[in-house]
């Protein structure tokens, strides 16, 4: 009978679909290590320390940068500082929401006596932030933390604006 043949066919295919359990762990790792909530909280606290750094760095640079060519960016640096403050608040809320404790560490603040070097230090920080937040968005996505992903996307957009402001001031 055709029906019996069909059942037999399905049963016969079943063993072929099995894969050796060892294949999941054997061989070199491919792709990024899977993220865990604990590891994500650690990364977010590193990001938070760099937001505190950026906040302080912009306050100092806005006060001491000199030269008429930097009049416009001097005003922008003070605005950036306020936006980094907002990022620190957002990250702290997200870390708490994930069950972590927001840190109070400050990454190393970059200073210089040379106005152009200050802007280069600020740009370096922004490019680093853009790369970090892109990675963090992917990690939030992996953990299906969609509220966090949204908060990080908002931060990323502002960091991209900061980088553009600095690139314009540096004629890059
Ligand atoms: Fe920021
Ligand atoms: Fe920024």
Compute, in angstroms, the gap from residue 30 CA to the centroid of ligand 2.
32
The per-residue pLDDT for 139 is 98
CA 158–ligand 1 middle distance (angstroms): 7
Give me ligand 2 centre to Cα 146, in Å. 22
Mean pLDDT of the chain: 88
Token representation of residue 151: 């908060």
Are 22 and 45 in contact by the 8 Å Cβ rule? The answer is no
Q: Which ligand is nearest to the CA of 125?
A: 2
Contacts of 124 (CB under 8 A, 6+ apart): 110
Average pLDDT on 135-153 reads 98
Of residues 34 and 29, more confidently modeled: 34
CB 130 within 8 A of CB 160: yes
- How does residue 34 score in pLDDT terms, banded at 50, 70 and 90? confident
What's the 65 CA to ligand 2 centre distance in angstroms? 18
pLDDT digits (tens, 9 = 90+) for 44-55: 999 999 999 999
- The residue written with tokens 């540096």 in the block is 170
């Amino acid at each position: 009978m055709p029906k019996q043949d069909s059942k037999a066919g399905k049963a016969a295919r079943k063993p072929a679909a099995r894969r050796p359990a060892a294949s999941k762990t054997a061989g070199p790792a491919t792709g990024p290590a899977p993220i865990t909530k604990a590891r994500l909280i650690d990364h977010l606290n590193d990001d938070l320390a760099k937001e505190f750094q950026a906040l302080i760095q912009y306050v100092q640079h806005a006060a001491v940068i000199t030269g008429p060519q930097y009049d416009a960016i001097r005003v922008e640096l003070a605005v950036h500082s306020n936006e980094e403050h907002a990022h620190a608040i957002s990250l702290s809320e997200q870390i708490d929401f994930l069950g972590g404790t927001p840190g109070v560490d400050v990454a190393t603040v970059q200073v210089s006596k040379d106005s152009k070097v200050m802007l280069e230090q600020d740009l370096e920080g922004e490019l680093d932030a853009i790369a970090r937040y892109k990675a963090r968005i992917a990690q939030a996505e992996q953990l299906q933390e969609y509220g966090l992903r949204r908060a990080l996307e908002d931060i990323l957009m502002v960091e991209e604006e900061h980088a553009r402001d600095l690139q314009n001031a540096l004629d890059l």
